[in-house]
Amino acid sequence: MIAKRKTPREIFALGAEAVVEGALLAGCSFYGGYPITPSSEIMEAMAARLPKTENGVFIQMEDEIASMGTIIGASMAGRKAMTATSGPGFSLMQELIGYACMTEVPLVIVNVMRGGPSTGLPTSPAQGDVQQARWGTHGDHSIIVLSATDVQDCLQMTVTAFNYAEKYRTPVILLLDEITAHTREKITIPSPNDIEIFSRLQPTMPPEWYKPFEETVRGVPPMPPLGAGYRFHYTGLTHDDHGFPTSKPEEVESAVSRQFRKIDQFFFDIQIVDEHRAEDCEMLVVAFGSVARSAQLAVDQARELGIKAGLLNLKTLFPFPRGAVEKVIGNCKTILVPEMNMGQMSREVKRVNDGRCKVKTLNRIDGHIITPKQILDSLRKG
């Protein structure tokens, strides 16, 4: 088992393979999925690796709905579970993502975005699923959505995704783009001793005292695996703290608001951003995924030209890192949001900016990468 390795090691890997390394490091022992480009490499690597581990399970399901269903079941049975998909598959998963939010079942869904809508552009880069990741399922709910910039980051953010899922008893979505997932780079796989791994809290009280959806200080109740002696009811219906369906207004209100609060009150823990030359910038680029990589080069080139540019690379997309954006927009004249969609992230930036400075968009939806030059040109225009 890889977890036994004591020293870090270097490999030359695809972003997709780095996701698998990260998942295994984080303790993932269950993968259920259905192939779709450009995410299939994650599934294939899992198929090769998991059966070789002590209790790892890999199962190819009949569709993405079934994939989501199996990982929910596996997580209820105590496993750290994951699936990966792209556009159409992600759409199919939405009802069950809502179920996982409602039942507070931890799991990780990797979505390697492709162009859309519909079958769209299968192997071309896009970032069109930002708002679907946030609001794809029906109803009001909180959710955690992360992204990654490069291959090393794919590993790191997968570990983070599992940690958040377990810590907050929630599905976590890792949004990658095709460029990140299909780039091959040298990465370091850390020794398991060097990374922090979080596993869901287990109840310590006797079963008769246990309430599976109890209000706690952190808002996150402990979650035992099925079969451990804590018999309770999971349902997608709005439920009371014992898990039984309820429509009493006070119980509904408290159940739904706890589900929001358990994530929202930990903004400081969940919001990960990388700042690059942003301290004194007058022009701020807000980007994520492979676009942030182009933006970093563009910012450096702009600085050489005397333009005070900076970059905010969002690793957490939701809850939207409001604090981090607000902190830097103080000195800014312009914020530039380059993204491979028609403006799904710039909506969030505009909302937070609330008219304080100019927000410029740079959108590309032709299945091609946003180049450093495009971003630089836009920065030069001011």
Q: How far is the CB of 54 from another protein (least distance, A)?
A: 8
Task: Please report, for residues 51, 59, 170, 183, 202, the alpha-carbon distance to residue 56 in angstroms, rounded to integers and kept in the order given.
Answer: 5, 10, 22, 27, 21
Q: Which is nearer to another protein, 96 or 292 (CB)?
A: 96
Least Å distance, CB 287 to another protein, is 36
Interface positions, 308-347, toward another protein (CB under 8 A): none
Note whether 165 and 101 are within 8 A (CB).
Answer: no
Q: Show the tokens assigned to 276.
A: 């690059």
Bridge pairing between strands 309-314 and 144-147: unpaired
Q: Tell me: cis bond preceding 38? Omega within 30 of 0 counts.
A: yes
Q: Judged by CB, which is closer to another protein: 236, or 367?
A: 236
Of 255 and 297, nearer to another protein (C-beta) is 255
Residue in 45, 46, 74, 345 binding another protein, rule: CB under 8 A: 74
**Binding piece for another protein, criterion CB under 8 A, among 38-46, 66-74, 283-291, 359-367:** 66-74
Instruction: Give the CB-side neighbour count of residue 380, counting CA atoms within 13 A.
Output: 12
Neighbours of 206 (CB within 10 A): 9
Supply the minimum distance, in Å, between the C-beta of residue 378 and another protein.
45
How does strand 309-314 pair with strand 283-287? parallel
Binder among 194, 218, 244, 279 for another protein (CB under 8 A): 244
Beta bridge partners of 12: 186
192 is a site residue for another protein (CB under 8 A): no
Rounded to whole angstroms, the Cα distance separating 334 from 314 reads 17
Q: How many CB atoms lie within 10 A of CB 142?
A: 17
79 lies in the site for another protein, by CB under 8 A: yes
- Does the footprint of another protein cover residue 122 (CB under 8 A)? no
Token pair 């997580």: residue: 75
The stretch near another protein (CB under 8 A) out of 55-63, 123-131, 161-169, 252-260 is: 55-63
Q: Other C-beta atoms within 10 Å of 119: how many? A: 12
The CB-of-170 to another protein minimum distance in angstroms stands at 17
Total length of the chain: 382
38-46, 108-116, 234-242, 364-372 -> range binding another protein (CB under 8 A): 234-242
Q: Does 106 bind another protein (CB under 8 A)?
A: no
Q: Which stretch binds another protein (CB under 8 A): 70-78, 109-117, 282-290, 301-309?
A: 70-78
260 binds another protein (CB under 8 A): no
With beta carbons less than 8 A apart as the criterion, state whether 375 and 362 touch.
Answer: yes
Q: How far is the CB of 69 from another protein (least distance, A)?
A: 2
Residue 84 and residue 96: Cα distance in Å, rounded?
14
Q: Any contact of residue 51 with another protein (CB under 8 A)?
A: yes
Q: Among 9, 184, 186, 233, which residue sits at the site for another protein (rule: CB under 8 A)? A: 233
Does 99 bind another protein (CB under 8 A)? Our answer is yes
Should residue 227 be labelled a site residue for another protein when binding is judged by CB under 8 A?
A: yes
Closer Cβ to another protein, 184 or 242, answer by number = 242
Q: Which residue in 9, 218, 242, 351 binds another protein (CB under 8 A)? A: 242
Q: Is 209 in the site for another protein (CB under 8 A)?
A: no
Distance of CA 290 to the CA centre of its chain: 15
- Cβ closer to another protein: 123 or 235? 235
Contact 10, 152 (CB under 8 A): no
Edge-first strand order for the sheet with 334-339 is 273-276, 309-314, 283-287, 334-339, 358-363
- Tokens representing 357? 């400075």
Give the integer Cα–Cα distance in Å for 210 and 216. 12
Does position 297 interact with another protein (CB under 8 A)? The reply is no
Instruction: Assess 73 for contact with another protein (CB under 8 A).
Output: yes
382 binding another protein? (CB under 8 A): no
Residues that bind another protein (CB under 8 A): 30, 32, 51-52, 54-57, 59, 61-63, 65-79, 81, 95-96, 99, 225-229, 231-237, 242, 244-245
